[in-house]
């Protein structure tokens, strides 16, 4: 039932149909309460803690997955390349404890959440989880005093932690129907100010860039990945108005049982092609994704030439229901986020059909330069 409701709302939130219109009065109340809460923190009526190191928030206003984890990993690597020593704070979806705890080599997704496990494995930097991000940040700095910048994976609306840079991430769905919950998919209105706007999409059209940009933002010139510089007034206000494009790219699949065993997606596409197509052997391929927007993963595989049976699963799916037990497939492709949970289940860990497709964020390096300049207290040229 929950999955059916999620599918219904995901569809309705992309248009202003009868259901969305019926819920519109409630969305006005939600928008008012969200604005009042943010204003309370801005006015000092609610306390917001500032940590002794700069804080960068990677978040979204579109409910569900937009690609925050790959962006966080990209940002950690970019900051490290610029000479910073970053750490990461996350709430840890599904984690058992509210108190801050470090993500270690023995941590499991059920303990700390799937995304923190993936971030720690991919970056090698300190990662702490906790429902109170400020407390998690303090614990991280106490355990790792060398850390001089904290990246928070999600937490855009967690105003109890003061931040120095806000990055708002969208995907190809833009702002949906443009309404806030429950009539639309937005936690806050599109007009919400931020430092940087990033769109996770294979193509950043002018219409999509205009839809996600805050008021007063300049429109990026084509090609869309090129940065545009904000007017002087916006720069003096400390806001970057450009819209940046992020592409998620994966070139290989790695067997879950042994990640050292690899196959390029191009080779898998060739082998899974019908025999009558030439060199194909007709191998059956399935693809499963328990992420916020499974269609994005399936679309990437299609772009690589792989025609797969698609198995969309709820975000943060735990795989304890054995979804592959009766699946007729020679290869089952999963995301890295799902792989960290599959690895915890012996039956899946030893299933030779399961292969992981790692993806990396590709973004114009100039975005990293501007973030670094802002963290260092200088205005980008």
Using left for φ > 0, alpha for ψ between -120 and 50, and beta otherwise, residue 113 falls in left
Binding residues for ATP: 62-69
Q: Rounded distance, CA 180 to CA 89, Å?
A: 26
Q: Rounded distance, CA 349 to CA 356, Å?
A: 11
Residue 88 C-alpha from the chain's centroid: 14
Residue 334 C-alpha from the chain's centroid: 16
Residue 104: other Cβ atoms inside 10 A: 12
Q: Rounded distance, CA 179 to CA 241, Å?
A: 22
- Comparing CA positions, the residue from 188, 181, 150 lying closest to residue 34 is 188
Binding residues: 62-69
Q: Rounded distance, CA 367 to CA 359, Å?
A: 19
List Cβ neighbours of 176 (8 Å cut-off, separation of 6 or more): 13, 14, 62, 184, 185, 186
């Amino acid at each position: 039932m929950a999955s059916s409701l999620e599918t219904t709302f995901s569809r309705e939130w992309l248009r202003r149909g009868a259901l969305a219109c019926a819920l519109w009065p409630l969305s006005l109340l939600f928008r008012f309460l969200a604005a009042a809460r943010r204003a309370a923190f801005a006015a000092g009526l609610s306390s917001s803690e500032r940590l002794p190191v700069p804080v960068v928030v990677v978040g979204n206003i579109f409910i569900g997955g937009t690609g925050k984890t790959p962006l966080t990993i990209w940002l950690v690597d970019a900051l490290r390349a610029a000479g910073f020593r970053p750490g990461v704070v996350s709430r840890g979806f599904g984690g058992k404890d509210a108190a801050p705890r470090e993500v270690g080599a023995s941590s499991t997704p059920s303990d700390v959440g799937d995304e923190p496990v993936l971030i720690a494995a991919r970056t090698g930097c300190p990662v702490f989880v906790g429902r109170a991000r400020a407390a998690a940040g303090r614990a991280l700095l106490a355990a790792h005093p060398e850390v001089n910048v904290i990246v928070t994976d999600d937490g855009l609306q967690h105003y109890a932690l003061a931040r120095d840079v806000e990055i708002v991430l969208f995907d190809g769905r833009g702002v949906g129907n443009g309404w806030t919950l429950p009539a639309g998919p937005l936690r806050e209105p599109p007009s919400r100010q931020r430092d940087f706007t990033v769109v996770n999409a294979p193509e950043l059209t002018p219409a999509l860039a205009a839809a996600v940009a805050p008021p007063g933002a300049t429109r990026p010139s084509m090609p869309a990945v090129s940065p545009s510089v904000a007017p002087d007034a916006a720069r003096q206000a400390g806001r970057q108005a450009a819209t940046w494009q992020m592409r998620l790219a994966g070139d290989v699949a790695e067997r879950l049982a042994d990640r050292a065993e690899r196959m390029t997606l191009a080779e898998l596409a060739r082998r899974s092609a019908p025999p009558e197509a030439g060199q194909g052997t007709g191998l059956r391929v399935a693809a499963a994704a328990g992420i916020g927007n499974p269609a994005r993963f399936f679309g990437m595989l299609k772009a690589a030439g792989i025609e797969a049976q698609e198995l969309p699963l709820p975000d943060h799916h735990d795989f304890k229901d054995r979804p592959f037990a009766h699946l007729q497939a020679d290869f089952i492709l999963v995301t890295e986020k799902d792989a960290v949970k599959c690895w915890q289940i012996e039956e899946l860990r030893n299933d030779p059909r399961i292969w992981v497709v790692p993806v990396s964020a590709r973004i114009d390096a100039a975005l990293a330069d501007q973030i670094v300049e802002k963290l260092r207290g200088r205005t980008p040229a």
